[in-house]
Structure 1
Amino acid sequence: MTSTTTPPALDTAAVIDSIADLVSEHYVFPDAARQLADLLRRRSAEGSYRAESAEELAEAVTADLRSVNGDLHLGVKYHEVPVPPEQGAATLTAIRRRFDESLGGVARVELLDGGVAVLELAPLLFPLDWAAQPLAAALSVVAPARALILDLRRVVGGDPNTVAFVCGYLLDGRTHLNTMLSRQGDVAEQYWTPPFVPGARFGGSKPVYVLTSGNTFSGGEELSYDLQQLGRAEVVGETTRGGAHPREGWTVHPHLELSVPIARAVNPVSGTNWEGTGVRPDVPCDADTALDRALALATARLA
């Protein structure tokens, strides 16, 4: 006798109410939060969310959530496999799977002609308690190089603590990188490079080039932006996607996770961030030619 698992019923109105409440309570911009909550409830009452599946509902609600200010961290994600109800559990489970499949986020370490090292990170700058060991090993390997090309073209997210850890190998001395402001405008957290890093530092004087693409997002953007604003690296490639707000996740249905930005980043140099604009390269070029362009720049500088 064959048994089947019946998917949980999709109570669209209840899901929308839950999403509206969470956005209203937690979204970092209170005025936009109220506007979005009202929009969701109005469209639900009008029958606009007659979705046949949880996946279709996620797409429709995400489009509405992003219709006010285009915040790419704000949305509803569909998970094919049911996700745990605990806050943030769905994201953490998915991230752990990607960590285990990607050598901890270190995609490539290579020494090119002329003593120029390439370190490619992808797909994420994983939580530091997982990623510290593979990152420390990779950054120590490239430390003796004459110049470094840091390839972030495929990085689509990350942890600010991990960004600070990587920057610690590329800067001399403790450096303030970022301040997170809460919904109320208070300082929620500050990020600085660590006073000590395991292994060898590349240091703060040799040339660094950061490669970006139109897919580089969130944590990958922060690492690019921090180094660029400090004048520590030249960014080579394409303008990034433009998502600067740290987020939290809530399970609003066994297959649906709501992502809500709960703070905003303020860079100590620029006084702002890359939200909506992306990180603009110092040397614009197509992403697929960025490595060759950076290598030519490094070779010319070293010569």
Structure 2
Amino acid sequence: MAQALVLLASFLIFSNVAHCDFSPRVIVDLAKILMDNYCSPEKLAGMEEAIDTGSSNTDILSISDPATLASVLTDGVKKTIFDSRVKVTYEPGYVPPAPPAMPDFPPEQLAEMIKGTVKVEVLDGNIGYLKIQHIVGEEIAQKVGPILLEYIWDKVLPTSAMILDFRSAVTGELSGIPYIVSYFTDSEPRIHIDSVYHRTSDVTTELWSMPTLLGKRYGTSKPLIVLTSKNTLGIAEDVVYCLKNLKRATIVGENTAGGSIKINKIKVGDTDFYVTVPVAKSINPITGKSWEINGVAPNVEVAAEDALDTAIAIIKLRAEIPGLVQAAAALVADNYAFPSIGDDVVEKLGAVVASGEYNQISTKKELEAKLSADLLKLSGDKCLKATSNIPARPPMNLTPEMFIELIKVSFHTDVFENNIGYLRFDMFGDFEHVAKIIAEHVWDKVVDTDMLIIDLRNNVGGSTSSIAGFCSYFFDDDKQIVLDHVYNRPSNTTSDLLTLTQLTGRRYGSKKSVIILTSGATAGAAEEFVFIMKRLGRAMIIGETTHGGCHPPETFRVGESDIYLSIPISHSDIAQGPSWEGAGIAPYIPVPADAALDTAKAILNKHFSGQK
């Protein structure tokens, strides 16, 4: 009631401009039309009481120009019910158009008419293309069925993919919705396509897919793309929305107009005012919503003029996807560090493709995301994924002085109270050829401390080539120690990672205390170092469980495409138990990463005090 009163009041308020001879009956009749015909009566609750209130109003409408009054009334309705489709016009002499009758033309002339409204073409790559401006109803389609088949449908039926161009489709018949949708579904089971509520009859009509059709169906397996523009209107929008939510088509282009399933133009009383009212509304059985007013959002949004080229690119990509996924699976089978898991991934990935989950992919980015998600789900390994092929940076032409400065800023050292050493670096590299510089400018600053804190909380990994050498500094030189066994999948070999007998600079040795700080960001090569030091009892670990990454993965190109996979090809293979890959390394003393350093210093200071 309150909303309807606001509606009526807005009409009366907007009309207080300058006196003339329009009767308040215009407003009352307009409100009555809305109450009896508007497709969403819940927005007009209490309209009857509002009409009674308006009927007793004796004020004279005060806008002298009828076109201006029509515009003011239109604004009043739109601001009240928030529906841009409702419009009041002033049209003396308006004659409602009669519904078109199906002319009794000879077949040849009918064929020419159909050719004028539907453009049919087979594009390169065996892609069918239909540009449709008007969606014919079932009755007309049945009458011209043989001509439709001969001149249009039979030409595109054998194609490998279809593009329906609705960018200029602005008219259509309600009965054409199930007719056209059914050609892209199976005969059984029947599908509830749409429900249409008719306000004037207060009846809801359900639209279902048709079990029998003239000619053969295009089916459900071949790609279907529908092109849209901001001009796509009415019945065409309903077809687009149905196909989109049935997940039968990918919509490419612009958001559609947001029209109506049915609009009537109704005379206001005995005046020359008319009100355009949506008298029916679509309620999709899948979403429970309608495309009306807001339109249909495309799956892939591009300018209307670019929609066809985009659609062709999508179809070409989809044709390549099964082969690309198969090639990706082969790379996993041949190179993934854990062979049994790799074989399982390959088998299950094939089943995912066969299920149709890749059929709606429209871009390379979507394919990479889907492939990464499936590889993670099937393997449990976050390191096995699609990736960008980032070329290696060319080596910098550094002077010796510049190189020394780079080493200095890459490592951070300090000596705390009680001669506690501190060493932080955030990435492992191939340090062998710069070992002398590191020893002189980094290691010599902490090697003579009594205790050492190694801060790897921000270390994201890197090359494992220096792991054996770095570990060796924390063991004595009297014997070689097996640090780890590393299995390599491409070569199907296992190699021993041993301490080195010869080192640049002095060892820290096996007697002095070492604490390693970790966080959830500690990954890759840093985890291998932490794993070795913890397993051999050489260091106390304080902080958070590490990332659970992998040995440095390698990048593989998938077929001849520009899609790449990041595949871990090696893993730790210690027989005593599970390694760190995927699970991370739990600290001895779990604390938040930002508290790890203070915790370590407190422990070492307490240890120092106990030795006194």
TM over 0.5: same fold? Answer: yes
Q: Which of 198, 201, 221 pairs up with 2:214?
A: 198
**Is 2:143 the counterpart of 1:130?**
no
Q: In 2, are the aligned partners of 1:242 and 1:279 still within 8 Å (CA)?
A: yes
Q: In 1, are the aligned partners of 2:37 and 2:200 still within 8 Å (CA)?
A: no
Residues 129-162 of structure 1 show CA distances to partners (whole Å, capped at 9, x for unaligned) of 3355379433343211111100111122432211
Structure 2 unaligned runs (5+)? 1-20, 104-109, 321-612
The secondary structure found in structure 2 opposite 1:67 is helix
Deviation for aligned residue 1:46: 6.3
**Is 2:293 the counterpart of 1:279?**
no
Deviation for aligned residue 1:255: 6.4
Q: In 2, are the aligned partners of 1:104 and 1:126 still within 8 Å (CA)?
A: no
Deviation for aligned residue 1:17: 4.1
Q: In 2, are the aligned partners of 1:209 and 1:236 still within 8 Å (CA)?
A: yes
Q: In 1, are the aligned partners of 2:90 and 2:272 still within 8 Å (CA)?
A: yes
Give the residue type in structure 1 aligned to 2:37: H
- Which residue in the other structure is 1:8 paired with? none
- Which residue in the other structure is 1:24 paired with? 35
**How far apart, CA to CA, are the structure 2 residues paired with 1:237 and 1:48?**
46
Residues 185-215 of structure 1 show CA distances to partners (whole Å, capped at 9, x for unaligned) of 9752111122222123222211100011111
- Which residue in the other structure is 1:161 paired with? 175
Give the residue type in structure 2 aligned to 1:63: D
Deviation for aligned residue 1:48: 5.6
- Aligned pair count? 281
Give the residue type in structure 1 aligned to 2:128: A
Q: In 2, are the aligned partners of 1:72 and 1:243 still within 8 Å (CA)?
A: no
- Which residue in the other structure is 1:211 paired with? 227
Q: Map of 1:186-265 to 2, 5 A cutoff?
A: 188-252=204-268, 257-265=274-282
Q: In 2, are the aligned partners of 1:246 and 1:264 still within 8 Å (CA)?
A: yes
Residues 214-273 of structure 1 show CA distances to partners (whole Å, capped at 9, x for unaligned) of 111221111110000000000001111223453334344796643322333221111111
Q: In 1, are the aligned partners of 2:260 and 2:280 still within 8 Å (CA)?
A: no
- Which residue in the other structure is 2:359 paired with? none
**How far apart, CA to CA, are the structure 2 residues paired with 1:286 and 1:80?**
39
**How far apart, CA to CA, are the structure 1 residues paired with 2:58 and 2:279?**
24
Q: In 1, are the aligned partners of 2:66 and 2:90 still within 8 Å (CA)?
A: no
Q: Map of 1:1-303 to 2, 5 A cutoff?
A: 13=23, 15-33=26-44, 47=61, 49-52=63-66, 58-76=70-88, 82-84=94-96, 90=97, 92=99, 103=114, 106-122=117-133, 124-132=134-142, 133=144, 136-137=148-149, 138-173=152-187, 174-183=190-199, 188-252=204-268, 257-303=274-320
Q: In 2, are the aligned partners of 1:16 and 1:44 still within 8 Å (CA)?
A: no
Of 18-27 and 170-179, more deviation after overlay is shown by 18-27
Give the residue type in structure 1 aligned to 2:191: T
The secondary structure found in structure 1 opposite 2:75 is helix
Deviation for aligned residue 1:57: 5.4
Give the residue type in structure 2 aligned to 1:139: W
Change (3 A) 1:205 1:185: farther
Structure 1 unaligned runs (5+)? 1-10, 85-89
Give the residue type in structure 1 aligned to 2:77: L
The secondary structure found in structure 2 opposite 1:92 is coil
Residues 28-76 of structure 1 show CA distances to partners (whole Å, capped at 9, x for unaligned) of 333433688969x6999563653355xx655444333333334244224
**How far apart, CA to CA, are the structure 2 residues paired with 1:302 and 1:72?**
42
- What is the TM-score with the length of structure 2 in the denominator? 0.40
Change (3 A) 1:189 1:48: farther
Q: In 1, are the aligned partners of 2:127 and 2:161 still within 8 Å (CA)?
A: yes
Give the residue type in structure 2 aligned to 1:66: K
Change (3 A) 1:29 1:204: same
The secondary structure found in structure 2 opposite 1:114 is coil
The secondary structure found in structure 1 opposite 2:264 is strand
Deviation for aligned residue 1:295: 0.9
Change (3 A) 1:36 1:62: farther
- Which residue in the other structure is 1:87 paired with? none
Q: In 1, are the aligned partners of 2:281 and 2:292 still within 8 Å (CA)?
A: no
Change (3 A) 1:61 1:156: farther
Q: In 2, are the aligned partners of 1:248 and 1:259 still within 8 Å (CA)?
A: yes
What's the C-alpha RMSD, in Å, of the aligned pairs? 3.8
**How far apart, CA to CA, are the structure 2 residues paired with 1:73 and 1:126?**
23
**How far apart, CA to CA, are the structure 1 residues paired with 2:315 and 2:92?**
45
Which has the larger Rg? Answer: 2
- Higher relative contact order, chain-length normalized (CA < 8 Å, sep 6+): 1
Of 205-214 and 192-201, more deviation after overlay is shown by 192-201
Q: In 2, are the aligned partners of 1:247 and 1:259 still within 8 Å (CA)?
A: yes
